[in-house]
Amino acid sequence: MTQFEKNESVVTLRPGRRTGIGQLMLEYNLYIILAVLLTISSIVSREFFTANNLTNLLLRCSFNGIIISGMTFVILTGGTDLSVGSVFAFAGVFLATLQRGYFFRFMPELTTAFEQAGELNPILPLPAAVALTVVVGGLVGLVNGLLVTKAKMPPFAATLGTMVAVRGLAFTYAGGFPIPGFTEGVKWLGTGQLGVVPVPVAIWLVVLVVVWVILKFTVFGREVYAVGGGETAAHFSGIRADRVKIAVYVISGMLAALAGVVMAGRMNAAEPREGAGYELDAIAAVAIGGTLMSGGKGSVLGTAAGAIVLGLIANILNLTNVPPYPQQIAKGLIILGAVLMQRFVSTR
Question: At its nearest, how many Å lie between another protein and the CB of residue 93?
Answer: 34
Q: Tell me if 235 contacts another protein by CB under 8 A.
A: yes
Q: Tell me if 17 contacts another protein by CB under 8 A.
A: yes
Inter-residue contact 166 to 90 (CB < 8 Å) = yes
Q: Tell me if 212 contacts another protein by CB under 8 A.
A: no
CA 32, CA 339: separation in Å to the nearest integer? 13
Q: Closer CB to another protein, residue 110 or residue 209?
A: 209
DSSP letter for 20, please. Answer: S
Element containing residue 288 per DSSP (H, E): helix 278-288
Q: Closer CB to another protein, residue 150 or residue 240?
A: 240
- Burial profile 308-328: b = 16 or more Cβ within 10 angstroms, e = fewer: bbbbbbbbbbbeeebeeeebe
DSSP 222-272: HHHHHHHH-HHHHHHTT--HHHHHHHHHHHHHHHHHHHHHHHHHHHTEE-T
Question: At its nearest, how many Å lie between another protein and the CB of residue 222?
Answer: 6
CA 281, CA 279: separation in Å to the nearest integer? 6
Query: Which residue in 15, 123, 125, 217 binds another protein (CB under 8 A)?
Result: 217
For 303, how many CA atoms within 13 A lie in the half-sphere containing its CB? 33
Q: Closer CB to another protein, residue 243 or residue 331?
A: 243
Residues 237-266 that bind another protein (CB under 8 A): 237-240
Query: Which residue in 229, 253, 275, 290 binds another protein (CB under 8 A)?
Result: 229
Q: Closer CB to another protein, residue 67 or residue 226?
A: 226
Residues binding another protein: what is the number (CB under 8 A)? Answer: 27
Q: Tell me if 27 contacts another protein by CB under 8 A.
A: no
Residues near another protein (CB under 8 A) are 8, 11-12, 14, 17, 217-223, 225-226, 229-230, 232-240, 296-297
